[in-house]
Amino acid sequence: MKRIIILAALTLGLCAPSLLAAQDYNHAEVGVFADYLRMYNITPQINFVGLGGRVGFNISHHTVLEAEMSYDFKRNYTTVFNNGVTTSFVTSSVRPLDALFGPKFETPGPFKFFVTGKVGLINFSSTTQSAPAGFTSAVNGIPNGDTRFAAYPGAGIEGFWGPIGLRLDAGDEIYLSNGTHNNLKVEFGPVFRF
């Protein structure tokens, strides 16, 4: 009996790599990311950092329909001196929350270049609560808070090793508030395909 169990375990161990290689990881994607948002139309310019998540469903071999949300709860202060650069992160009382939805068009292969165009909203909440409590109050404040229409054209690259990958994308998060406001948005993090 012991030999049968050992033989079954060895057979499964030898077959597992070929089973993983035969999988089609092209149905859906889930990812988390670190988010950087540089607000240009504010004096002085503000750098926000936070976290976000996304989910995407493949509607063809090279088109993914994605939804993402990010919450920026920290501000970054960077100072350049003659002898170097210093940077610090502090909790911000103004916290952008954005929710975007749209297609991603990608190239084939394990390393994919892509372009995306998403629309949605950006909400500017003001709070002194912790990040999780501030996120909850920002989501609850979307209907009556400082919420604006947002659009995000962007591009990026992602690389996959089986079902696990890394993704970097950057673009212009545009929101409307007495005119258009253009802002740099950069996202980086792991992606899981299944």
Look at residue 169 and tell me if it is in a domain.
yes
* pLDDT at residue number 18: 47
Position with higher pLDDT, 129 vs 29: 29
- Whether the per-residue pLDDT at 149 is higher than 60: the answer is yes
Look at residue 56 and tell me if it is in a domain.
yes
What is the signed CA dihedral for 118, 188, 93, 76, rounded to 10 degrees? -130
Structure-token match 């929350």, residue found: 97
Look at residue 15 and tell me if it is in a domain.
no
Average pLDDT, the chain: 82
CATH code, 45: 2.40.160.20
Tens of pLDDT, residue by residue over 111-122, are 999 999 999 999
Tens of pLDDT, residue by residue over 12-38, are 565 555 444 445 557 899 999 999 998
* pLDDT at residue number 79: 65
Quick one: pLDDT band at residue 73, thresholds 50, 70, 90? Answer: confident
Into how many domains does the chain fold? 1
Look at residue 71 and tell me if it is in a domain.
yes
Look at residue 16 and tell me if it is in a domain.
no
Look at residue 11 and tell me if it is in a domain.
no
Tens of pLDDT, residue by residue over 86-112, are 666 666 767 888 999 999 999 998 899
Q: Which amino acid appears at position 98 of this protein?
A: D
Tens of pLDDT, residue by residue over 38-57, are 887 666 678 889 999 999 99
Question: Residue 144 is part of which domain span?
Answer: 24-193
